[in-house]
Structure 1
Amino acid sequence: MSQKILVAGSGKSGIAASRMALDTEHEVILYDSNEALDAEAVRGQFKEDETIEVLLGELTKEALKDVELCVISPGIPLDAPFVEVLKACGVPIWSEIQLAYHYARGKLAAITGTNGKTTTTSLVGEIMSAYYKEVFVVGNIGTPYTSTALRTTDQSYTVAEISSFQLETITDFKPDVSAILNITPDHLNRHKTMDCYIEVKKGIAKNQTKEDACILNYDDPVLRRFGETVTPRVIYFSSREFLSEGICLDGDMIVRNHDGVRMEIINIHDMNLLGRHNHENVMAAAAITMELGVPLETIQSVIRDFKAVEHRIEFVAEKAGVKYYNDSKGTNPDAAIQAVNAMPGPTILIAGGYDKNSEYDEWIRSFGKKVRYMVLLGQTREKIAECAARHGFTNVMYAEDMQEAVRVCASYANAGEYVLLSPACASWGMFNNYEERGDVFKECVRSL
């Protein structure tokens, strides 16, 4: 039955959700609180025969007359003023992934976690595509779920990277296989407390049944305890402990132990991916794809050839004997720790950016003797420098932009050393997103 739907947010997610709502014969109001936007330009993203109302600025109760549902884009916090108007009018709020799930068919694997989501989702997508004909890779990775949901069939498989923002407003969203890779402090400017952030992440499995599977990181104490309480079958993975039941490291070999049978998946030295965190990403990907029926030979073949995704410990170039790595997607301290640990030798680090209310002590302590200098950018540079000084790390320099930061690193780095962009902060304020920040870094490196 046709409904009148308000779609909040005119970015990529909101446009995709609006198109899907139109395709399913709903009446759509596309709303954005930014009254400075050009309404005609927003409307111009739709076909001439697609009737859509564009509403900008303040949202009034009168504008919500006959609106039965709001689909909210993930970038919009739930404490935005217009959300209170929705609640006062009793309008239910769905996330974009909830709308997509309502119409999608086939099997669904959903992957969340503070870090590693994009790498794991990309790897799962490539493994699935190597074996099945109909595979869609969607979500926080860049393709809105609503842009593909109506193309899914009973034979298709959807692999979705799911953020905490997307999980805040799900109702019956239920993956056949879920995975929570890890939970460390992030987005506390939005979720306010770690307890709230953890509960939102756990929501990915809340609707699963005993017929479904949940992949969890055994090394994360929060997730280990969570695995004892959930309804779906739990499959643990660990890069630090041997598991008699689950996927783990046995020496340099990633293995799966199940019902007393040992299955060798891959030797870590046969992979292109660097670092312990990537061993964990591979374990999670193997667990997910095995649950979805992919044979071991296919999984092994794809893992061997898989390279790091763009902006995640991505090799850029070697200049004057110095190797440069782009980890612009390291937008929180834990991700930046993984990147530092992955560097094989002495490193000069570029960091800093937008403040998400993170604490940097553990990150600074992880430097050990590996990080020789740190070049800081953006809003957080003084906060990070003060934290570093408290821990006795004083080899800190400031730069006004990425070009200056790269030049400073090039002047201090010796042949055989590494320069790493891993900011531990969001990109906002200096860049539109982490992709732009990484692209600028790569351009600066290549022009040295």
Structure 2
Amino acid sequence: MKLVTPETWLHAPGEALVVGLGRSGKAVASLLARRGFRVTATDERALDPSDPAVAPLAALGVDLVLGGHPEALAARPWQFVAKSPGIPYHQAFIAKLIQASHVIVTDVEIASWFETRPIYAITGSNGKTTTTTLVGEMLKASGYRPIVAGNIGTPVCDVVDQPGDLLVLEVSSFQLDGTHTFHPQGGALLNFYPAHIDYHGSYEAYQQAKWKLFANQTADDVAILNWDQALVRDRASQLAPRVCGFSLEGAPFDEGVGVIDGALVAVRGRERTAILPVEHVALPGRHNLQNAAAAAAVALAAGASVEAVARVLATFQGVEHRLEFVREVSGVRYYNDSKATNPDAARQALRSFERGIVWIAGGLDRGISFDPLLPDISGRVRAAVLLGETREQLRDVIARAGVPTFVLVSSMEEAVHEASRIAEPGDVVLLSPACASWDMFPSYEVRGSMFKEAVHRL
């Protein structure tokens, strides 16, 4: 459904409904209330209005409907409905709102109504958090005051009134699906791999949500695309903005960042400027080299200097839960890659080590095949510790890959204990689940933190 003139709503704020009071939902309700909207917020949890989680909203005059979503809410004449990104469109109450012809938006859309600063938004199946963080650091090192927010952790509606020069946003397919007028000056699409099909309904619908990043861009804007993935590259000619590429296979584009003769190189027409040798990039793994190239392309497009980009890439050690080194115990190195919530992300982590991996994997069963992992398991994984709903499926894949040792466990504490028992000096214990966390943990962050706590107790 096409959004109707949000400018009109901003001049004459009316009634808005916010569905879901997680971090992003609370940020949306607070921003709208401060800007004069009459906000009703509803959540399935039976919270007390005096609970610290929601009391600040009540103090702003937000009408709280807690403990469920009464059907009567769907019949009210809302100007628009703000849905928490994680709530799928097929959820019963959301479906009723759609049936009643309400406009459904997400936090990224709403924040953009109030923003006048440039927005650089980054999406993709894998690498979003690392790339977004790198861009923020590169711009900071160049003298800018970037605000890094979005799916990375800080809700975008919380930063609308914060001082800063520009916004660097990690945006998910869930958020983009609820955008209509969202218009970033720069948009980066890192890659496509099968993910969130249970939410979107199909791989094609998932891709379409990601492509909405560029829907409102013009020739004055820039799209940064992965030139090594045909699924992304082949659509470049259909986009309105100017296109920059990033590639690990040279620089087959007019503008962007590519790997040429063992170095990351910035390209603009015939001008080529070396950034730094590939071997000097601090983050390990080919996938992180691709993240580095993408981040450099975005940061340079946003005004960062080549010197600042090189300095950050040479020193940046990574983000929490993404191939994060935890500690070494008795000659065994432990890595937390809890953010690997799909098979391709886990494959990238496995490829970062040549051999001697004791792999901790498993989680929510989303019906995705793990067979693409077979070539990366074979020869690299020495043993596996499997947990969660998918442990039986992964056991089959492990067996077919010729891994002789595997253990099925029922908790993270047990997983770390078994992995430490199996591992030998020189091995790597790698938590890279290849699955979402929600069968056993509230989030991948909690899963990763529990892994680290168990490692530190060894």
Category of TM-score, reference length = shorter chain: over 0.9
- Counterpart of 2:227 (choices 202, 218, 233) is 218
Three-state SS of the structure 1 residue aligned to 2:139 is helix
1:107 has 2:110 as partner? no
One-letter amino acid of the counterpart of residue 131, structure 2: T
- Counterpart of 1:385 (choices 379, 395, 400) is 395
One-letter amino acid of the counterpart of residue 148, structure 2: V
Q: Please report the TM-score for the alignment, with normalisation by the length of structure 2.
A: 0.93
Query: In the TM superposition, what are the counterparts of 1:311-390 in structure 2 within 5 Å?
Result: 311-390=321-400
Cα deviation code 1:245-266 (max 9, x no counterpart) = 4322123211123222221111
2:355/2:379 contact within 8 Å kept: no
Alpha-carbon distance in structure 2 between the residues aligned to 1:226 and 1:395: 44
Alpha-carbon distance in structure 1 between the residues aligned to 2:130 and 2:45: 37
- Count of residues paired in the alignment: 445
Q: 1:47 to 1:234 in 2, by over 3 A?
A: closer
1:403/1:444 contact within 8 Å kept: yes
1:332/1:424 contact within 8 Å kept: yes
Q: CA RMSD in A?
A: 1.7
Query: In the TM superposition, what are the counterparts of 1:9-48 in structure 2 within 5 Å?
Result: 9-32=20-43, 34-41=44-51, 44-46=54-56
- Counterpart of 2:193 (choices 181, 184, 189) is 184
Alpha-carbon distance in structure 2 between the residues aligned to 1:58 and 1:9: 10
1:233 has 2:242 as partner? yes
Alpha-carbon distance in structure 1 between the residues aligned to 2:109 and 2:261: 42
1:85 has 2:85 as partner? no
Three-state SS of the structure 2 residue aligned to 1:366 is helix
Alpha-carbon distance in structure 2 between the residues aligned to 1:446 and 1:344: 25
1:105/1:149 contact within 8 Å kept: no
Three-state SS of the structure 2 residue aligned to 1:308 is coil
1:276/1:342 contact within 8 Å kept: yes
2:8 alignment partner in structure 1: none
Deviates more, 1:393-402 or 1:280-289: 393-402
One-letter amino acid of the counterpart of residue 284, structure 1: A
1:402 has 2:416 as partner? no
Cα deviation code 1:18-38 (max 9, x no counterpart) = 000011011010111x25333
Q: 1:330 to 1:47 in 2, by over 3 A?
A: closer
Q: Please report the TM-score for the alignment, with normalisation by the length of structure 1.
A: 0.95
- Counterpart of 1:206 (choices 215, 233, 236) is 215
Cα deviation code 1:232-288 (max 9, x no counterpart) = 111111113553643221232111232222211111222220011111111111111
Q: 1:92 to 1:316 in 2, by over 3 A?
A: same
Q: 1:435 to 1:442 in 2, by over 3 A?
A: same
Q: Give 1:216 deviation, angstroms.
A: 0.7
2:262 alignment partner in structure 1: 252
Deviates more, 1:40-49 or 1:158-167: 40-49
Q: Give 1:117 deviation, angstroms.
A: 0.2
1:295 alignment partner in structure 2: 305
Alpha-carbon distance in structure 2 between the residues aligned to 1:62 and 1:145: 26
Q: Give 1:66 deviation, angstroms.
A: 3.4
1:282 alignment partner in structure 2: 292
Q: 1:20 to 1:62 in 2, by over 3 A?
A: closer
Cα deviation code 1:159-194 (max 9, x no counterpart) = 000000001110010111100100001111111211
1:197 alignment partner in structure 2: 206
One-letter amino acid of the counterpart of residue 274, structure 1: P
Q: Give 1:390 deviation, angstroms.
A: 4.1
Q: 1:64 to 1:23 in 2, by over 3 A?
A: farther
Q: Give 1:82 deviation, angstroms.
A: 0.9
One-letter amino acid of the counterpart of residue 124, structure 1: V
- Counterpart of 2:133 (choices 122, 126, 131) is 122
Q: Give 1:396 deviation, angstroms.
A: 2.2
Alpha-carbon distance in structure 2 between the residues aligned to 1:92 and 1:7: 12
Cα deviation code 1:15-61 (max 9, x no counterpart) = 000000011011010111x2533344277431664111111313323
Cα deviation code 1:177-227 (max 9, x no counterpart) = 100100001111111211111111111111111111111111111101111
Alpha-carbon distance in structure 1 between the residues aligned to 2:206 and 2:158: 27
Identity of aligned residues (%): 37
Three-state SS of the structure 1 residue aligned to 2:77 is coil
1:361/1:388 contact within 8 Å kept: no
Three-state SS of the structure 2 residue aligned to 1:151 is coil
One-letter amino acid of the counterpart of residue 412, structure 1: I
